[in-house]
Amino acid sequence: MAKKYCYFCNSLVNYIVKNEECEYNYRNKNFTVKEDRYYCVNCQNELASDDLDGDLKRIYDEYYKLVGGKN
């Protein structure tokens, strides 16, 4: 399994993946998006995602579903 860098441990670490519902607020609209979150097995702090573009696209898509816009 590949390792990710943990800024708290200051090293490459093993991690666990949790699929969580994350809440967002944009332009006074609240909505949730299911996201994969990565956590260090040593200190349990959240690690940076490798898929920021994909994460932002899912947030964008969920917001536009909420307001009735087109994707």
Question: pLDDT tens across 6-62, in order?
Answer: 999 999 999 999 999 999 999 999 999 999 999 999 999 999 988 889 889 999 999
Sign of CA dihedral 15, 39, 20, 28: negative
Give the C-alpha separation, 64 to 3, whole Å.
34
pLDDT at 16: 96
- Number of structural domains (the chain) is 1
pTM: 0.78
Write the single-letter amino acid at 60: Y
Residue with the larger pLDDT of the pair 67 and 71: 67
Asked if 39 and 47 touch (Cβ cutoff 8 Å), the reply is yes
Give the C-alpha separation, 37 to 20, whole Å.
7
Residue-number span of the structural domain to which 24 is assigned: 4-67
pLDDT at 68: 84
Q: In the chain, what is the straight-line distance between the N-terminal and C-terminal CA atoms, in Å?
A: 35
What CATH number is given to the structural domain containing 30? Answer: 3.10.20.860
